[in-house]
Structure 1
Amino acid sequence: MTISVDATSSRARALYDARSKGVPIAPFTDTDPGLGAEDGYAVQRELLGLLLADGERVVGYKAGLTSAAMQDMFETRTPDYGPVLASTVHASGTTVDASAFIAPKVEAEIVFRLGRPLRGPGVTVDEARAAVSEVMAGLEIVDSRIADWRIRLADTIADLASNGAVVLSPPRPAGPDIDHRLTGMVFTRNDDLVATGAGAAALGDPVAVVAWLANTLGAHGVTLDAGHLIMTGALHAAVPMRSGDSFVAEFDRLGSVTLHVDDPQSVR
């Protein structure tokens, strides 16, 4: 199904308003259940244009649905993607306001920074590995501007792949001899173990996610630039985020990344 230009623009504006007002909207697929991935990307591009006009900058890309379990949930056999915006990137140890999000959850993942550009199609995993200069432990705050997370594939794609924010550890050299498939991770909330994972959960190899993004975006004329962040996908099921929470993800060889959550409206 291909939606009209007017429908694409109105849906992008609805998501833009939901983001700015913090009020979720109904799923687009409620009224148009036939909407597909390409329809979602058309809305995403329009929404991104509105945000760029406000002064936002794209500093990388995130991949989602990189695990088999998440692909089964959305009845797809391919990941999705969305831009990473400069205003959403934070350093480890940051405190975010719970009220800045609608229905946030937290995921731990491996994040790369490119040392040189990549443009598909035809980018191999070896070429992607050679282009990666730094690697970081990451916590993604996923958030949905769609009410109650009642999303189908087109809804989450349109909503910038449900990206809310990302928190990053200090970078480490990527090193061609490191097998990121074997990078283990332990994830805690308020000192309670809530998840474990390994790099292989992300498309079998997080570096393969970099190649997939380069090839997928390249087919649309988009280059992954030197300096771009590449978020490679969750290594476990998302964990709900609440005011007062503290999250820590500890990664083999990458160290730890920490996120604190506060509510500016809370009584102190």
Structure 2
Amino acid sequence: MTPSIHDIPELAIRQLQDYRNVNPGTCFADPDFSLDVETAYHLQDAVTALRLSDGETVIGYKVGCTGPGTTAQFGMNGPIRGTLFADEVRQNGAAVDPGQFCQLAVEAEMAIKIGPDGTIAAAFPIIELHNFVFRAEKKTLAELIGNNGINAGIVLPDPEWQRSTSFISQAGKLALHVNDVELDCGKLWPKADGPEASLNWLRNHLDGFDRSPEPGQIILAGTNLGLYPVQPGDKVVVVLDGQPEVRCTIGPSSP
């Protein structure tokens, strides 16, 4: 089955139901199911529209599949765009229930905040939470996009960090620690031009959908690091230049 644009509304209902049932993207398990990238974005946006109609709020976007860590893991090159929702934002030190995710995995990443004039007003580290599952026999950008970049939330740093301008242009080292063990580290930004490269790509991409990044929105700018599965009891910390800045604990699964 290769859905057309006319099939998207019905498929979006299924996708959202699967997501809320913590069983995302079941349509991609069908070996005869395929999407092209353009249709996958229409599917992502149709699911977003359903979530907005249910009272959810978009707070920004992610630019994913950009750095060497994820491109090696996924076997494909982006960038791709995902959509961030307010209900899936957690604060520093949060206890994360793995039962709310499908194969929970974490990623250390830098985010930016859009200022009133549309430029970068702040840059700060976050933990990105994922449903780390691909259904199709071969991973594709279309499945990644159709499942919203497999994003399932973020953990923010303390409020003062969310206003920081220090690392907009300053170099640094980002690392992911789980249970006091460094699993991965790398430069802050996946592109040589820094966060502007990700923001410029996103602007150009969203322009094709008659949208643009809005003041106050959070943009995940991509990362050089990979995704790492986590288990109940794990302690996750994002470290920037040797300092622990964002943390969460993986609690027991809910009944």
- TM-score above 0.5: yes
- 2:131 counterpart residue number: 143
3-state SS of 1:207 partner: helix
CA separation in 2, counterparts of 1:39 and 1:184? Answer: 37
- 1:219 counterpart residue number: 208
Q: 1:134 is matched by which residue type in structure 2?
A: A
- 1:156 counterpart residue number: 144
- 1:45 counterpart residue number: 45
Write the deviation string for residues 144-167 of structure 1: whole angstroms up to 9, x where unpaired: 565489642111101111111101
CA separation in 1, counterparts of 2:63 and 2:44? Answer: 14
Q: Which moved more, 1:197-206 or 1:89-98?
A: 197-206
- 1:188 counterpart residue number: 177
Q: Is the 8 A contact 2:78 2:141 kept in 1?
A: no
- 2:114 counterpart residue number: 114
Number of residue equivalences:
251
CA separation in 2, counterparts of 1:28 and 1:156? Answer: 13
3-state SS of 1:193 partner: strand
- 2:88 counterpart residue number: 88
Superposed counterparts of 1:159-238, under 5 Å: 159-170=147-158, 171-175=162-166, 178-180=168-170, 182-202=171-191, 205-238=194-227
Per the normalisation by structure 1, the TM-score is 0.83
Write the deviation string for residues 96-153 of structure 1: whole angstroms up to 9, x where unpaired: 11100011110001011111254xxxxxxxxxxxx11122111101115654896421
Per the normalisation by structure 2, the TM-score is 0.87
3-state SS of 2:109 partner: strand
Q: Which moved more, 1:142-151 or 1:163-172?
A: 142-151
CA separation in 1, counterparts of 2:236 and 2:137? Answer: 22
Q: 1:112 is matched by which residue type in structure 2?
A: I
Change (3 A) 1:241 1:48: same
Q: CA deviation at 1:232?
A: 0.9
Aligned-pair Cα RMSD in Å:
2.7
Q: 2:144 is matched by which residue type in structure 1?
A: T
Write the deviation string for residues 237-267 of structure 1: whole angstroms up to 9, x where unpaired: 100021111100111398610011112547x
Q: Percent identity?
A: 24
The answer for unaligned runs of 5 or more in structure 2 is none
Q: Is the 8 A contact 2:97 2:254 kept in 1?
A: no
CA separation in 2, counterparts of 1:75 and 1:29? Answer: 20
3-state SS of 1:156 partner: helix
CA separation in 2, counterparts of 1:224 and 1:254? Answer: 30
- 2:18 counterpart residue number: 18
